[in-house]
Structure formats: structure tokens, C-alpha cells
Structure 1
Amino acid sequence: MKGWVGSFLVLIHSSFVVSQTEVAKWCAISEAELQKCNAWSTAVQAKQYTGTPRLECVLGENSFDCMDKISRYTADLMAVDAGDAYFAGRFFSLAPIMAEEYINKEQMYAVAVVKKGTNFNIKTLAGKNSCHPGINSAAGYVYPMAQMFQSKLISVTECNVQLKSVANFFNVSCIPGALSTHKNVFGDNPPDVCSLCQGRGSDFCMSSDPFGGFAGAFQCLASGRGDVAFLRHADVLKYTRENPNYADSDFELLCPTVLESGVEVDPVLFRRPVSDFRLCNFGQVPDNVVMTGSRRTTEAKAAFKSLLSKSSRDFTVYIPPSTGVGTNATTTTTTPRPGSFRIFESRSFGAYDLLFTDDTRALADVGQLDTYYEWLGDKFRETRQKLIVCPLPYTRWCVISSDEMAKCEQMKMNFAAMNLRPTLDCVRGDNARDCMRIIKEGDADIINLDASDVYIAGRNYGLVPIAYENLGDANTDFYYAVAVSRKVDSTTNLFNLKDKRTCHSGIGLAAGWIVPMDIMLQTGQLTVDNCDLYEALGRFVSRSCVPGILDPLYNVKGTNPISLCEACASGGRYKCQRNSVELYYSDTGAFRCLAEGGGDVAFVMHTTVRDNTGGKNQAEWARNRRADDYELLCKDGTRASVDDWKTCYLSKVPASAIVTADYKDEETRNHYWNLLNYGQYLFGSDSNPDFKMFSSPIGTSNLMMSDAAVRLEKIPKDKQDYKSYLQSHFINMIREVEEANCVSSASFLTPTNTFFHLIILVVTFLML
């Protein structure tokens, strides 16, 4: 009875598996593969397997498209090279389920093949034409290029883009996939990496290119177009055996030269016969695997394995060649009838290695090595890591608060997870001015600064801008400074700010201080006595929040009005600090000051209102805030909608910029930019679940970069100094505000006092 019940449960389970996985969709990457796949499907259907899904075939544009299809559940299966397995697992969450087993169960060796009679070796390979099966190929790209980087045969052109270094090393190449969107994210990969390819239209420089794949790479060499082809050891033996026009004696292997502890080690000759692949290679690569989506159910994976195992058993025949190395395998037990489908044979479909490698003798379950990470193993990861080279070891970002340090550490961790170079590190400064000093002294490298701080950094510390924040407008390196008031407070305008309450992003900041102070001075609303702009503002308004106004850097005499901090929200030692510990710091904080009733007008950038209303800011204080509850104050005394900032603004302001020391050479600055550019490509979206470069955790704002920024743009070399970047209009505004405080344009002190001003007058008098 128990046995009957057990059999019944097994039957139920088998039926469940089939019902849940009725179809297995194989993704083919070429018309030839699709043709073979359809033949396979017909053969499977004829077998009438039970407990096995029906095989269907779908056509992908290339291997990347197939990975995407599987991740989106529009396909289920594909076979990939070890290098593609890494890419598929890491970026598309695919997982291995079955692996190819080869003759003698020996892993393939990565080799460099050249024509016999040519007179170059691995050390004189620079400037030659190269043929590769694909950009992710373990044997055809990852292993040989990694060793050539390690031995310093290839020098680094640009961090995070080894293809540019490879392109500089070779003359021209065919590296299928090198210009695909996945490998050419900014569209600036050198066209030389595909110049040798022969495909037309969408086939050009992709896996379906005539020179794509291992057979194509060999043909690229054999045709005379290429000087070297990077292949698996079995490929040259197979292709010469099956093509009467070639013999394996027509070709040789280039042996790699290795550096150990800086000393050249060359245990073998520079060239060897192709039969000496065990002595002359770049390493053994993991076997090809069949992959599916890692989130497929256990039952679905079991069903796929069942289909593959039965196909491997029933449609396999291996006839050992009469010549060649490593070919003593015996014929498999199953021999298809003449004309029947053979799963590991492709010549009848007019190509090589369709769906599977033709040298495969069986498919084996990967067992517990069922993640790409486990399957590839330590050796592959160590080898691939050698491709990630950068002459600059690190980029140190200077932060000014514990909140910024926390975000920087997150950014560092996520950049490291994506192998971005140079390695990001975080350095803590007391404030922006302290960070300027630290960068000048060489203990940090970069910081993002408000435009007014860019002025101080350039004038006083010799720092230069290398990239700026773009707020969403095409190629604009500026934003609009605006004044915002509540709509119900309809009588407030820019000409009656006397005794009003004002909210500022921070002392000395462009939109929150420089621009409004300049407006008040120009309109004659502020009367400055004794070179004390702060005292004049304290008399003019009833109270304010000007974060940093009591900082010793700006409160030199210790007499700045306390009323200019009374509207700030934080308590204790955090109150009125010029960093994120003050709740009303930054443009977001200034708007919060207005929204929560701390002020009558807020001086902010034009994006601030929309960024903090309508549910865009999830912080508790911003919930249920509506943009139409606020209006802009225009320079002519009128008011306008918050969306009319292009016509109702106080001034255009240069965007915040990333700065570094002026003694950093162009190459080093480019390395900094390259890191930031790849970082924003990966983490620039506010929908990224891992990390958001241009977003701050709920309850904070504008950490390291403006939350309103959508991307960073590189500043042209000829504008990488503070005067060229800021331009005269904004610099004159800063100087007008400084002059109200009697600050010399050459002074290293932004805030000053009457005593300093008197010294200048006395010296001037004595010189007369």
C-alpha cells in the first residue's frame, strides 16, 4: 500500500512539473542556430518524452539579447562560453544548469595562433591585426588579454575601458560585441576594434559576423586578414582537420611571456607547434555551460535538465578523427541513424559550434556549482581581475559631514562591487574650506562644490573644476536662482523684504546667499555700515536661517547677529551648521524652512519646489506639499508660477562643480572623470535599488551632489579654471557682496572685520 502511495505521489509530482514547465524556449543567436534548434525540436517531439517540456526556439539578435530575453522570461535557455557566463550571471542573473564535457574530459586551453613563417612573437605583437571570437570569450579575449595586461605588453589607455588599451596595442581587430551597447556604453570605443569584421548591417561585429565565434576568428586568420587569432586549442586542430586547404603544420602558437616579481620568465620558446598547446597557452578555461534564469523554480530547472540530459543521451554521436592530439575518446553508446539529428554536430547546418561546441561529447549536471560564481571558480575570477587595471590607485572624495561620509561609504562599496577604478575612498573634512585645504595639500582629490565655493577654491586654494552638475537641460552648465514665497502671502515681493523672515541654503552659497544679497544691495534695501553686511541683514530682516553664519570662518569678530540663526531648526550644537546636520541647510532645507513656517521667503535653485512637492520627496515634512501653494518673486516686483523660472528668476548661476588640485595633470583628471562617468552610468538613476548617486536618504538632502542633478558633464580642458568656468558676471556678483564686507579680491579671508579694512586704508595712505 505504501509503495502504491509513493508511486502515486511521484506521478503527481511529475505531472506538476510538466504542467508548470510545459515549454522550454531555447534562444538562438543566428539563423543557422535557429535552423539547428528547430531540427532539435522536431527530434525531441518525435521521441515523445514524458515528464519533459516541449522544446521551442526563439531568435535573439545576439548573445546579449538572449541573456536579456531569459532574464525577462521570454526565453529559457542558452549555451555560453565561460566569459559570457560571467557576464550573464552578473548582469542578467542567469545561472548554469548543465555543462559541456569534452574529449578526454579535458578543459580547453586558451591559445594564440599565427601562420607559420611569420616572424613576430608575443613581445613584438604590437601593431598587428588580431582576430577574436567575441568580447566576452574566455579563451578568445579574457585570458590572453589579461595576461598581456599583467605582463605589461599592453599599457593602460583609460581606466574601466580596457578595449581602448587593446585597440591602441593592435593595429585593427575583429572583436565581435565590442561596439554593442553593453560594451560601448558611451559610444566612444575605437572603431578599429571591429575594422577587420566582415558582417553587414546588424551582423557587423556581432556573434553572427562571418569572423565571429571561434570558427570565424580562425577564418579571419586563415584568410590573411588577421595576423593572430585567439582560440581554444581544439579549434585549430578541428578546423585544419576538416578543411583540405589547411594543415595544422601551417600554423603555430605564440607562447606568452610572463612577469613574476618584475622579472621576465620565459620557460618555453616564443613559438611552438599547435600540438604543444599544453606547453604554450594562456591557461585552461572553464567549460561552456547551459544557463537559465536564476529565479526559475527548482521544478523548472529540473525539467530543463531532463530535456537536456535526454537530448545529450539520444542525439549524440562522436566519431574520433584519425589524426590530432587528445582524440582517444571512444564512440558514445547511442549512434543515431544516418541522416538523424545530432546535437553536437553543426557542419550539416553550414557552420561550426551551433548551440553547442562541436567537440562536446556529453552534457553533465553542474551539481552544486549552480551559480556563475561557483562554476567559474577562483582561477577565472583571478584572471578576469587582471583586465581591471588602472595606473591611478584611488580617488579620494572629501566629505563634510557624517551623513556625507555614510553616503560616500555606500558609493565606495557599490563602485567596488562593479570593479570601477580608480578605487573610491572617502576623506572627512571639517567643512568645505577644510576640504579645499586637504585637496590642495594632496591628502584628498575631489569634492563637489557650490559655484561660490568653486570661486573660493580656485582663488585661494588653486583648485580647478573638472565636471559640473547638469539638472536636466541639454548641455547647460548653469541653473536659475529664484526667490519663493507662499501663495497666501500675496503681499510679499522682492522690494518689501524689510522685517520679513528669510530662509537661505547656507552662508556664502550662490543661490542662497550671493544672489539674494546682491539683489538687496542693488535695490538699495540693505545699508551696510562699517563693512558689516551681516549686521546690516540682521537689522533689515526680523529673523533668518543662514546656516554657517555663526561659524568662525564667517563670524570673525564674533558679532554676527544671532537672529540670522533663529529660524533654523536643529537643536544644540547642530543648529545653524553649514552642513547636513542643520535641517534647514541646502536648497531643500531652505524650502523646508519656508514650508514649515520658519520664513516668508526662501532663496533656492529653480528645481527645488518641484523636487520637494507632489510626492517627489518622501520625507515626512514634504508629504502632501503642493507646488501650487507657492509662487516665485520676480525682479520687477511681480509674482509668477513656480514653473515660470525661465522668466522670473534672480540670476543665472554656474552649476555646482567637481574640483581637484590644479597640479593634477590631464591624465589624472581624466581618470577622475572616467570613474565618475562610469559611476553615473551604473548608479545615476533614482530608480536603482542598490545605490543612487544623485539622491540622498530620506531625511537628508544634497549629500555630496545635488539631489536635483541628473548627471555630471565633463568640463572642457580650456575651461578647467575657476574664472573661465564661473565667468565674469557671477564673479562680479561675488565681488560686489565681498566689497560690502570690505573683502579684497585677493584676500584669503571671505569674512573680515573693520580692523582689517583700516589696515588697508592706513597702508594706502602711507604709500601716497
Structure 2
Amino acid sequence: MRAMHAILIIFICLHYSLGKKMRWCTVSEQEQKKCAELAKALVAVLPPAAVAAFARLSCVLAYSTTDCINKIRANRADMVTLDAGEVYTAVKQFGLTAIAKEIYRDGGCILSVAVVRNSTLDVRSLQGQRSCHTGARWTAGWSLPLGFLLSRNYLTWAEEQPLSQAVSAFFNASCVPGAAAIAPALCALCQGQKSYIAQRNFHCETAHGEPFYNSQGALRCLKTGAGDVAFVDHTALEGIEESEREDYQLLCTDGTRAPLSHYGSCNLGRGPGQGMVTRLNVRKIARKFLAAAQMAFGRRGRERQRFQLFDSAPFGAADLLFKDVTEKLSILEDNKDISQVLGLDYVALLKGLGHEGSSLEDSVVRWCCISNAEQKKCEQWALSIKSDPLVCVRAISMSDCVEKIKRDEVDAVSLDATHAFIAGKCGLVPVVTEYYGKTCVPAEGGAEKAGHLETDVLPSVVGVAVVKRSTRGVFFGNFGGRRSCHGHMYSPAGWLLPFRHTLSLEHNNTSPCEPNQVYNEVFWKGCLPGSQGNLCKVCMGGTGEAATKRCADNHNERYYGNMGALRCLVGDASGKSYGDVAFVEQHNLESNILSLSPSGWADGWLSWDFELLCGDGRREPLSEWENCNLGAIPPNIIMTRPVLTSRVYDFLMKSQETLASNPDTEFRLFQSQQYGESDLLFKDATQCLIHTSHLDYRTILGDEFYRLAEAVFNCTHSDILEFCNQEVCSIF
């Protein structure tokens, strides 16, 4: 009775506030029949007082989902269910609003899978094959697979050409329903009825009249032999008969093939599922209608024996009005931004694929800078490579850079190993890796690929604990009550590695997996830029044009980074603000010491004035770093959003080639001392940038470092990871 009472209240509200028909847009006769049965079912279960409201529910037949969008805009229909790619278009380009999204067994997202009949095909040999797609700009059939192919550079897309043209050239023939208006060549395999009358033309349309429309249709395209590969969403695999499942395989991103049941590990990416849209002026009523319909006819609806919202079998087709595998509808809150509905990664992918048309951003690379000094160096870089547009965008920290890349406010940045771990968890991918070896060897390909460098070995650097030679009583095990200097929050040498060692015999490290808590318990105070409390009390802030509050997580804080931690150890000009031990990287330690005097920071310091602290309690000269260190640190990784890997890679290779061919230029990409700091934009130890976009970030970081970082972040709060974990796929 309570459920019926709630339904009655909603229906009465709808009746008095709507005052007109609630019109659902359909794209086939089968959908029209299911919609009509829904209207009858609503009338049948409603009390007499509410019958009038839902006797007015009507179903509007359109010839495609695009036609539905136009009908809703023109007030000839009110609602329709669309693929997430079309939801984005409807909202951003046509002013509609998203009101609900489908939730499946595993959450609010679908996986894009590439299905083939048993063959010798793999994901690297798709060029020249015949392809079947769910729909133009659809998530599983277009955006995710093309984003993957572009990220691996299997598909080449010149900036001046439409993406559809590049896809036409890549595949031998295709069926991409909905592509007729933008690229007729992508409709060659489609089999829908052709007509010069729009309402009767179903060839290559996003409607059930096109036999190869949506995931079921793309599988039909593959099954009939029209295509060699079908890009569909994983939920459609359930529709393949058990007796036929062995006839199909999935293409995995590593070049292997797998059974259909392995879609969880063998897919081309994930994105949001279908959603419902309407006009702004009817959004509240539309939400109430969907809530009421679900309450009556959803999976747990009280009236599901009469009608089932997520079952299309009685009408002779699949996925009518909603996907049949839908568990429930998630009704969206009002005024929710489309990025929150579809997810930041997905929206950034759509922008990267040109869903909003071309813009100035398509022809430039936006680099992330975290201080005045980095901004200056970046701007000098831009002036030195005039033919390749570079825009320098300011952020407040490396973590902020990761967030800005995810939000599509900036494109790329070089990240230390810990931040690369964070970025990988946030969905960013490697482009190139800094190389710290003695010489850079060009890859095979001769002069044509002079800037393209590869290697099987990526030299690491090491973290070290440094003290002044004169402070004889400081060593591992008696740091209790001392003052510490750390490069910055999440830095490998300054934050991640030191806490693994016995810092103080008096403190039993009660929380060994939380570095900040360990450092707060052991040290009296310190400078860990980006932290707070006692670990900021030794920090100094910035001055002049780089003026900033104390403990800022960037070079504007004078004690930030390797150079900053060394300054912290030496102390300021007054000799008051200093630490007893500095946790830094070894690679530029001696050059930083030598730069203390010419930079005007402190005079007279030489390498001889400092010693390394070993984990076993020994003290050694700086030259003994190979046997006295905190551990190895993987190289910095330049990371971006997946769809931009080729563009960022090409830009960096052109920069590397341009600067190498002009040795007289004053600008040096891997030198920072002329800007008063060290390791600006890239580590100063970098010899060149190595191609690694074919590797995942975990491979570059190595198992040991990855496991350490994962263990630490599993029990350490991180704002940036919390931001990244606001995943639309898990919304219920």
C-alpha cells in the first residue's frame, strides 16, 4: 500500500503540474509498441484519480535518435534514451538536459570490446579490415575504440582532417550508423532501406530499421560476415547464444585474444552507459515520471508482473526504450554538470575527438607549470620552437597539474614517480620518459626518426639522506626531535622512501604506512612543502614576484624540491631557519651545492661539507651514494590524457629535434640554473626523452616501486586520488 500511495502522489503531482502529454520518442515500430504498452500499463495500475494524467502518455515515432533530439527541441516530443555520446551532443550542442542514467549490474558504465570471429586478427592489425560500429560518436562503438587506436598511434589522424576521414582511410569498409551526414564512406556496409524521403530512409541511421544499428546490430554485422570486427559494449555479449560463443573472441590491448567471458580484462576502455534527456522546462516532471515508472515496473516494481520496463523480448527485439540489462535508473540531481554525469575522462575524450568542433586548443599543447620560475622557462621554450605552438598554463602543484589534465584545462606535464603513480590511477598515460643515461641512441629508422629514441633500460636515480658534516650526532635511528627537510609532498626521495627506514629508535612508527604521521611523530618540526602543521614550520615561503605563503607545494616556496631541501639544510641568510637532515635525490646534489654561492643563497659550501646517512647508521662521503641511499627512484614520466598521446609525442619530438639542431640557442630544455632553481619542467639530469607511450605507467615504475606506492596510498588520505575516484561508473 505504501508503494501504491507513493506512486499515486507522484502521478497526481504530474497530472496537475504537467497539464499536457508526456511524449516518449521512439525509433522503431517495436519501440513504439513497447511504449504504447507502457502507457496502457500505467493506466491499468493507476487509481481513478490519476488515470487522466497517464492516459495522456503518448509515443512519438521518429526515424533516428537525431530526429528525436530535434523533435524534443521543437516541443514535438519530451524524452528519449540516448547513448552517452549522444547525450553529450544533446546537452552541449542542442541545449537539452540529462535527467537519468542507466545502471547495470557492475555500475553506471559499459566496457568497449572488439569482437571477431575466430581468426588471426589482433588489435594491432585492424588497418584495412571491415568494421562494424554501434553508432557514430557512440561510446563503445566509436569514441572508446578510436581513442585507444589513437593513443597507441595505430590510427593516424592529421589535425587538419576530420576524424571521420581518418577512420575511412584506416578501415577498408565500415558501417557506422549515424555517419551518413558526416562521412558517407563510413556507411558502405550498412544494410538499412534507402529512400530519398527522410522518414522512410533507414540506411546508416541510428534506428532499428538499420539492421546493423547499436551493439546488437554491430554483432549482426559481424555474424553475417559483412564485417571483420565489431566494436560493441560488453552488455551485448550476453545476447550471444551459448552454442555460438566459441565462434567469437575478444581482441585485447596487448595484442592477444580472449574468450567473450574475459571482457573485464580484455577491453578497449570504459565509459558511461545510456542516459535520458529532455528539455529544461519539463525536466522536473520528466524525472518524476521516470521515478514513478520505475517504482511500478522496474526490477523490483510492485506491478512488474503486468509490465517490465527493462524487458524487450515480448516485442521481438532487444534494448527497446532502455537496455534490457539495466538494473535500475539513477535519477540525476538538478543542475548537474555534464562532466559530473558522464565523467571527466569521458568528456575529455570526446573533446579530444572533436565532438565540439575544431578550436584553437586542437593545434596547441598546453604545458603545466607550477611556479614563476617554471613559467619563465616554459615561455622561453615556446619562443625557441616558434613553429610548434606551446601554451604555458599555471598550476599550484604537481597534484593540481594532474587534476587540470583530467579536467582538460592543460595537456601534459613531467611527473616524478610518485605523482606518475597518482596520475596513472587517475587515468592518465605515459608519452615519453626522461632518460638519465650517458648517451641517447636513436631508434631504428635513420635520419627520418632522429628524434625518436627508445631503450629497454630506463636508468633510475636514488634518494639520499644528507647532513652537514659538522653535525656529528645525527644519523638514522636518532632523528627524534630533529628538524627535517623534504623536497615536497609525495616526492619519492623526500616523502615516500625515508619512512621505510628506522628514523628513530624512540618512536616505534605506530603507523608505518602513513608517511606524514610518521614524520610528525619523529621530527620536532620540518619543511615538507604541501603539508601542514609542524612539517611547515621550517619552510620560508617566497619573495618578490614569487611571493607565496609558507609551505606552498611549488618552487615559489624557497625550500621546495631538491634545491629547496638543500637550502633548508644550509639555512637562510640569518642562519635561523634550517633543518638537521635533508631527504633529496642524488642526481644533482653536487651541482646544487656548487650553485649555492653564485645564486646568492650561501657562500663557501663545498661537497666536502656534507655527508650521506646510511640506513645502517653509517655516515659516508657524497661519492658513496651507490652504497648509501634510501632506494632507487624510477625516472620522471611525461603524462597526458590517452587521446592526446600522439599529439604530445609529436610535439616533444619536434622540440627535441629543433633544439638539438640549433646548438647556438641559449635555451636548454634540461637546464634550470639560469632561472635560479633546479629541475624545472624536467629533471636537469635528463639527457633526452625516450618513447614509452607503448608502455603502461606500472611497467615504467617497476613492480617494487609500484607496490610500495600502492601500499602507502591504500592507507594514506590523498585529495587528488579522492578527486580522481569520484567515478561515475560506480554511481548507483
Calculate the TM-score normalised by the size of structure 1. 0.43
CA radius of gyration, larger in:
1
Give the number of the structure with larger relative contact order, counting CA–CA contacts within 8 Å between residues 6 or more apart. 2
Calculate the TM-score normalised by the size of structure 2. 0.45
